[in-house]
Amino acid sequence: MNIIPLGERMEFIEELAALHHSEWGHLNPSLTLEKRIGKLASLAGGRSIPSIFIATSGNELIGSAALVLEDMQSRPDLSPWLAAVYVKEKYRSQGVASALVAKCEYEAKRSKVDTLYLYTEFASKLYERLGWRSLEPCMYRDVSVNIMYKEI
C-alpha cells in the first residue's frame, strides 16, 4: 500500500468523488458529483492544509483522507479538520484508515498544527483507538455526529 497526494494520481479523482458522494452525499445534498470533483481537485495539490491523500495498491484506489480548514459550517471556531477518511469496504479492518489518519496527523504536525478536529457518524471507536477524544456529540445537518479532537 502507498499513501500519496491525490495530485500524483489524478486518474482516481472521479472514482474518489463518486465514493465520497455515495458515503456522505446525505450531509450536503446540494454538493453535486461535479462540484465534489472540483472540490477534490482543489485539495489535490500538496502536502499542507488543505490537502488530500489517497491509499493505493498497484493501480487500485483503496482509500482517502484529507486535511481541511473548515468542515462544519456550524463550528467555524474549530480548525483545521481531518476529513474524508474513507476506505473501500473490502480493505476495511486492515489498517488502511489508521495509516491514512497517521499520514494526515504527520502532515498537520509539519504545518505546525497543535490540534486537529473531525466529526464522525459511526467511527468514534476507531478514532478513540488512534488517540482521538470526544469533544461533543451534536446534530449536524439533521444527522447525529460526534466531534472529536486530537492534540498532535
Q: Residue 32 carries which side chain, given as an amino acid letter?
A: T
Q: Is the pLDDT of residue 29 over 90?
A: no
**What's the pLDDT at 48?**
84
Q: How many residues does the chain have?
A: 152
Start-end of H helices in 73-129: 96-110, 124-129
CA 10 to chain centre: 17
Q: Residue 87 carries which side chain, given as an amino acid letter?
A: V
Question: Distance (Å, rounded) from C-alpha 80 to C-alpha 49?
Answer: 8
Neighbours of 84 (CB within 10 A): 26
**What's the pLDDT at 47?**
74
Q: Tell me the pLDDT tens digit for each residue of 43-68.
A: 997 778 999 999 999 999 999 999 99
Residues of the chain with pLDDT > 90, as a percent, come to 94
- Which three cell numbers, joined as nine digits, stand for 4? 500519496
Residue closest to 131 by CA, chosen among 89, 98, 108: 98
CA angle 116, 121, 125 (to 5 degrees): 70
What's the mean pLDDT in 81-85?
98
**What's the pLDDT at 58?**
93
Question: Distance (Å, rounded) from C-alpha 49 to C-alpha 31?
Answer: 21
Q: Tell me the pLDDT tens digit for each residue of 113-131.
A: 999 999 999 999 999 999 9
Superfamily of domain 2-151: Gcn5-related N-acetyltransferase (GNAT) (3.40.630.30)
- Which three cell numbers, joined as nine digits, stand for 17? 468523488
Sole residue written with cell 458529483: 33
